[in-house]
Structures are given as structure tokens and as C-alpha cells.
């Protein structure tokens, strides 16, 4: 048995469902070798027959990346993730990979990409069959959960029938909201423009949500890898959950990737609060918000940062407008501290019983506040992100 494995995927193009990858080391003496072809050249019945034979005569692994991961990372990175999981599921690891297509992946094993490899290399053809059959079976199962979409027939691919059901029922949980046809349907069916609000904490979000709900369908994105320590992050997250639950709006929680935040801001660690480090921090969080908003089919994005009297609105507006141009989504440019926005946030925070932190969130602002406390000999008035 060789150590070279063939790799292929199924489900890059559909509007719904996962992308599935298979990694296969075929036995040299497999009896059906001449019958193994690119899965697209075989009937569903023949694929099912070969699926069982290939599994019994190979070392293989199957990996899956969900529709939500496709929306989050993009189809190429999600496919890479599925390939890595397929390798992880193999009981014996290959030493070299032959991968169908031309994508460049970051994999733990050396590989060559072969265009139309599923038509040229038997192990890649075998992988295409395993991935295709596994995915088709999955889509038939979810067809029982969402019978109105016809997933058992078209497997999530873009057909006339699929488009018709999307227009009639709207997308479901397994649709890929970053794919253009689904995104366009979401926009068409939205009665009001959808806005993704980056929230740094519940106190700042109180008056902002109250104002935005008058005009938009609002969802909240809590993405704040700057917050330190982790107990502080957990406290702020719990309170934003409580606020979103009260308003009955969806909360999306981003990754707490503090290492990435430190890498991006370390060069400015000696900057005073409100300096270049803060600009990088604003831009990092607003970029992830704009990117997610565009991927999820929102019409607008914005941030609660401007509600604080300590935040430079002009800088926030400049970042937002640059991201809007770069990513292709509108920035809601309201200065939320105006019209007594900050005052209202204080009133609402007291009403909800929210904890109001006395430093911005990051380790540097925490140190600065502690030095100020020591110098003043008292606790400073609360100001938040």
C-alpha cells in the first residue's frame, strides 16, 4: 500500500450545505480500479456501489466544513479546513498528496495540485466519489428537515427549482449567506435595511441600539480581542447577551483572538490612550465587522465606539468610510454621542444594572487607569469604549 493519497472535494458551488473533502490511499490490488472515475462521470447508483468498495480497500478520511464556516472564511479556506480534517481522520497518514484543482493550501503534508486530477489519477477519482456520496447522503438527510427546498433532488446546487423555493421561503439555516444568489434574496426580502452593529460593551450599546432600531433591523457583533483580562471579557460578553436578549435581536460573537490583537498593536504599546494604538484597534474591530456584514448580506455596518466622549468621532468615521469603499458595504456614520447619546447610555445602564468599566478594555489602558488612580488617590469617573 502506497503512502501517496489522492484528495478531492464535493460541494464548492452549491448555495447550501457543507463542502466535503476526502483523502484516499488506495490498495494497489483493488479489483474495481478500472471502474473508478471522476464522480461526475458516474451514475448515483454506481457511485454508491464504489463508495463501499473504496472504503473497504483503502485508508481514507473524510472532512467537512459547514456552511457557516464557508460564510466566515470563504470557500477556499473552508475547503482547506475540510482537507485538513480529512487527513486528521485517516488512521494512517500519507507522506504526499495529489490534490485536484489549482488552489494553494496551507497543509501539514507536501502536495501537488493537478488540474482535472479527478480524471487523471485514480486515488483522486476515488476521493471524489467518497466526498460526493457522503455529501449527497447528508443533503438527503437535511431534506427531511427542510422539505420545502428540495435538497434531496438538487443537493443545494443552484437550480431553477432551488431559486424558486428561496424566493418563496427565504434561506434556511444551512444556506450559504455569503453566496451572491442567497445574499440577493435576503436583501430583496428584507422589509428594512439590515445593519450589523459592532458593540464594545453593553453600556455603550444601550442608547445606540435604541436609536438604530427605529430605522434598521439590527444584529450585534461582539468582537473585542482587545479586552483584558479574560474575566473582564467574559463579564462584558454576559452583559451584551442580556441586552440583546431584552431587545430580541441576534448576537454574533467573534473570536477572542488576543494574540492577533497584540501582534497588530505591540509596535504602539508606548502610545498614550487615544493614540495610534487605538486607531489600529478601532480599525481591526471595524474591519471584521464590515467583512462579516458583507458576507452575511447586511446593508450597513457601524460601531458603538463613537458614543464615548473619549473617542474621536472623525477618526472612527474616516475608518468606516474607508472600509465601506474597500469592502463594498455602506457605513452608518452617525456620531452616537450627539443628541445626548452618551447621557442616555448612562441612564439606560443604570436601568439595566450594567457594570460600567472605568478603562477602555485593553491591558495598556488598564495600566494607564491604575497609574491615574494611584496618582489621584481615588477612582476616576467611569468612561467606557
What pLDDT is attached to residue 377?
65
pLDDT at 154 over 60: yes
What pLDDT is attached to residue 373?
66
CATH superfamily of 192-376: HUPs (3.40.50.620)
pLDDT at 53 over 60: yes
Burial of 110 (0-12, 13-18, 19+ CB in 10 A): exposed
Reported confidence tier of residue 293, pLDDT bands at 50, 70, 90: very high
Q: What's this model's pTM, rounded to 2 decimal places?
A: 0.54
pLDDT > 70 in the chain, percent:
95
CATH superfamily of 4-145: Ribonuclease H-like superfamily/Ribonuclease H (3.30.420.10)
List, for residues 262-290, the tens digit of each pLDDT value.
999 999 888 888 899 999 999 999 999 99
pLDDT > 90 in the chain, percent:
81
Q: Is 195 helix (H, G, I), strand (E, B) or coil?
A: strand
Reported confidence tier of residue 196, pLDDT bands at 50, 70, 90: very high
- For residue 352, give every residue at least 6 positions away whose Cβ sits within 8 Å of its Cβ, in sequence order, or none: 202, 206, 242, 243, 246
What pLDDT is attached to residue 143?
97
List, for residues 6-43, the tens digit of each pLDDT value.
999 999 999 999 999 999 999 888 878 888 887 888 99
Reported confidence tier of residue 378, pLDDT bands at 50, 70, 90: low
What is the rounded average pLDDT of the residues 49-69? 95
Query: Chain-wide mean pLDDT for the chain?
Result: 92
d(CA 86, CA 60): 8
What is the rounded average pLDDT of the residues 351-374? 80
- Whether the CA torsion 218, 383, 285, 200 is positive or negative: it is negative
What is the rounded average pLDDT of the residues 34-63? 92
What pLDDT is attached to residue 189?
77
- What does DSSP say about strands 330-331 and 300-303: parallel, antiparallel, or unpaired? parallel
Cell of 305: 465606539
What is the rounded average pLDDT of the residues 91-98? 95
List, for residues 174-192, the tens digit of each pLDDT value.
999 999 999 999 887 767 8
Burial 261-297 (b: 16+ CB within 10 A, else e): beebbeebeeeebeeebbbbbbbbbbbbbbbbbbbbb
Reported confidence tier of residue 365, pLDDT bands at 50, 70, 90: confident
What pLDDT is attached to residue 2?
53
> In the chain, where are the structural domains located?
4-145, 147-188, 192-376
Reported confidence tier of residue 382, pLDDT bands at 50, 70, 90: very low
pLDDT at 252 over 90: yes
Q: What 8-state DSSP symbol labels residue 326?
A: I
Amino acid at each position: 500500500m502506497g503512502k501517496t493519497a489522492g484528495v478531492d472535494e464535493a460541494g464548492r458551488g452549491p448555495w447550501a450545505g457543507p463542502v466535503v473533502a476526502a483523502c484516499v490511499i488506495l490498495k494497489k490490488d483493488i479489483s474495481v480500479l478500472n471502474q473508478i472515475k471522476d464522480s461526475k462521470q458516474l451514475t448515483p447508483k454506481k457511485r454508491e456501489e464504489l463508495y463501499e468498495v473504496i472504503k473497504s480497500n483503502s485508508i481514507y478520511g473524510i472532512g467537512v466544513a459547514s456552511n457557516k464556516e464557508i460564510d466566515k472564511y470563504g470557500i477556499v479556506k473552508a475547503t482547506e479546513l475540510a482537507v485538513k480534517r480529512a487527513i486528521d481522520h485517516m488512521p494512517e497518514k500519507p507522506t504526499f498528496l495529489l490534490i485536484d484543482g489549482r488552489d494553494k493550501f496551507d497543509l501539514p503534508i507536501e502536495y501537488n495540485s493537478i488540474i482535472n486530477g479527478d480524471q487523471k489519477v485514480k486515488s483522486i477519482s476515488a476521493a471524489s466519489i467518497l466526498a460526493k456520496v457522503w455529501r449527497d447522503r447528508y443533503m438527503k438527510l437535511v431534506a427531511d428537515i427542510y422539505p420545502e427546498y428540495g435538497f434531496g433532488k438538487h443537493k443545494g446546487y443552484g437550480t431553477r427549482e432551488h431559486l424558486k423555493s428561496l424566493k418563496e421561503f427565504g434561506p434556511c439555516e444551512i444556506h450559504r449567506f455569503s453566496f451572491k444568489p442567497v445574499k440577493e434574496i435576503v436583501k430583496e426580502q428584507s422589509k428594512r435595511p439590515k445593519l450589523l452593529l459592532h458593540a464594545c460593551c453593553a453600556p455603550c450599546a444601550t442608547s445606540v441600539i435604541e436609536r438604530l432600531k427605529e430605522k434598521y433591523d439590527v444584529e450585534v457583533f461582539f468582537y473585542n480581542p482587545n479586552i483584558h483580562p479574560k474575566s473582564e471579557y467574559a463579564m462584558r460578553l454576559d452583559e451584551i447577551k442580556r441586552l440583546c436578549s431584552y431587545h430580541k435581536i441576534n448576537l454574533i460573537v467573534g473570536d477572542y483572538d488576543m494574540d492577533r490583537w497584540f501582534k497588530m498593536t505591540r509596535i504602539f504599546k508606548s502610545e498614550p490612550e487615544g493614540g495610534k494604538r487605538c486607531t489600529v484597534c478601532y480599525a481591526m474591530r471595524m474591519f471584521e465587522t464590515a467583512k462579516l456584514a458583507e458576507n452575511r448580506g447586511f446593508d450597513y455596518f457601524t460601531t458603538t465606539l463613537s458614543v464615548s466622549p473619549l473617542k474621536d468621532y472623525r477618526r472612527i468615521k474616516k475608518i468606516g468610510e474607508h472600509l465601506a469603499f474597500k469592502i463594498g458595504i455602506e457605513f452608518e456614520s452617525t456620531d452616537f454621542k450627539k443628541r445626548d447619546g452618551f447621557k442616555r447610555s448612562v441612564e439606560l445602564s443604570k436601568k439595566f444594572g450594567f457594570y460600567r468599566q472605568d478603562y477602555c478594555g485593553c491591558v495598556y489602558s488598564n495600566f494607564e487607569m491604575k497609574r491615574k488612580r494611584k496618582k489621584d488617590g481615588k477612582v476616576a469617573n467611569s468612561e467606557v469604549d
